[in-house]
Structure 1
Amino acid sequence: MIDTKLRKYVQPVFNQVGKGFVRLKMTPNMITVMAFIIGVSAGVFIAFGHIVIPIVLLWTSGLLDVVDGTVARLTNKHSKIGAYLDLIFDRMVEAAIILGFYFLFKEYALAYLLFFISVIFNFTTFLVAASLFKNEGEKSVHYDIGIAERTETFIVFTLMMVFSQHVFIILMVFNVIIFLTGILRFIRTIRYASKLNKQVQLHEA
């Protein structure tokens, strides 16, 4: 939700950063891969008990994750492959962070398991919505707004690193929010699909 509501206010900053990458002749896909590698590296540092380094790496990865799309717009190099890589790599970075916490605090395995279940459910509803709803935005696919988006996830991960003694409760609360996001999107998508079915039936009649 933060991404959607505040993006227009900070986009000028991303545009300037994006122009720097354009001057360096960096393609959107190259930046996407960089964001992936740096994000996964944050998970490795978490596993070894570091705090500051993974926070810096995580947010650097997040910045690059925004900049790749900005560079794509600035250079008119939108691609389905880029959108595909972006969606998959984002989930893999999240998995790496949680895996890092697992190696550090194995006693919270239930919270990690529920996180993966909630993400699978939420991401599935996102993909189905993307396939059904008409894309009227700037992204390569329809982007259905949710309560828990990328920035919220990074904030939660940061809180888990800073307040490591409360990892379980922080992640469990976030799991509920992710589930709620998926449930609301599921209901919204079902209603939209039902509306499409009625339109088809009326057309055939």
Structure 2
Amino acid sequence: MLDPAARRLIDPPLNRLGHALAARGASANAVTLLGLALGLLSALVIALGAPGWALIPLLASRLMDGLDGAVARATRKTDFGGYLDIWADFIFYGAVPFAFALADPANALPAAFLLLTFYVNGTSFLGFAVMAGKRGLDTTARGAKSLYYSAGLLEGTETIIFFCLLCLLPQYFAPLAWGFGALCLWTATARILNARFILTD
């Protein structure tokens, strides 16, 4: 929901930095993998019981996630790069709840629910992207992407804010996870209904 507004705010500085990195020989795929490594580092720090410190690599990871696209736009976008980016994102999204479950067994059930809802929401997003690609549909509201990004109540910006809240308020992991997971299911349901409307001939 917040992604279009966030893109308008962050894209200009990201594009400038992306051009600078590309001019120095950086590749978009390398930036993607660096972002994934930082995301996994944040999950490790959470699992070791220091979620507040995990904010530093977490936010750096999301910066790299925005920069990889900027570097690609400054050089050459590839289908593999888009594939690698979404693969890395989903690993990161799964690693953070798993880390909270490792840090405290009391978090296991809400973390499992959260992961289930991420799975449900992610498949509603990716499945529609496949069909939209077959039909030649396109969207630029969320920036230039390698695949169709369908709108939803919860998108990347909301998820980053949610992860930051988890790191700042780990004692409230369970209610935050149950609540965000419920909103993920709401988002997935809305996407499925929208897909039925668009994809039914």
TM-score, normalised via structure 1 length: 0.90
Distance 1:53 1:108 in 2: 19
Instruction: Tell me the percent identity.
Output: 26
Q: Name 2:79's counterpart in structure 1.
A: 80
CA distance in 1: counterparts of 2:170 and 2:182, whole angstroms: 19
Q: What does 1:110-121 align with in structure 2 at a 5 Å threshold?
A: 110-121=109-120
In the alignment, structure 1 residue 40 sits paired with structure 2 residue 36: no
Q: CA separation in 2, counterparts of 1:106 and 1:17?
A: 41
In 2, Cα distance between equivalents of 1:108 and 1:53: 19
Q: What is the match of residue 135 of structure 1? A: 138
SS at match of 2:21: helix
Is the counterpart of residue 186 in structure 1 residue 192 in structure 2? yes
Alpha-carbon distance between aligned partners in 2 of 1:57 and 1:155, rounded to the nearest angstrom: 14
SS of the counterpart of 1:117?
A: helix
Note the C-alpha offset of 1:20: 2.6
The one of 147, 152, 172 aligned to 2:158: 152
Quote how far apart the aligned CAs of 1:115 are. 1.1
Indicate if the aligned counterparts of 1:119 and 1:178 stay in contact, CA closer than 8 A.
yes
Matched residues in 1 for 2:57 and 2:27: separation?
21
SS in 1 for 2:95: helix
**TM-score in terms of structure 2 length:** 0.92
Calculate the aligned-residue CA RMSD, in Å: 1.2
Q: How many residues align?
A: 194
Structure 1 segments (4+ residues) deviating >4 Å: none
Question: For residue 14 of structure 1, what is the aligned residue in structure 2?
Answer: 14
User: What SS does the corresponding residue of 1:68 show, helix, strand or coil?
Assistant: helix
Stretch moving more, 127-136 or 24-33: 127-136
User: What amino acid sits opposite 1:186 in the alignment?
Assistant: I
Measure, in 1, the Cα distance between the counterparts of 2:104 and 2:163. Answer: 14
Counterpart Cα distance in 1 of 2:52 and 2:115: 25
1:69 aligned counterpart, secondary structure: helix
Contact 1:126-1:185 at 8 Å conserved across structures: yes
Structure 1 spans left out of the alignment, 5+ residues: 198-205
For 2:67, the equivalent position in structure 1 comes to: 67
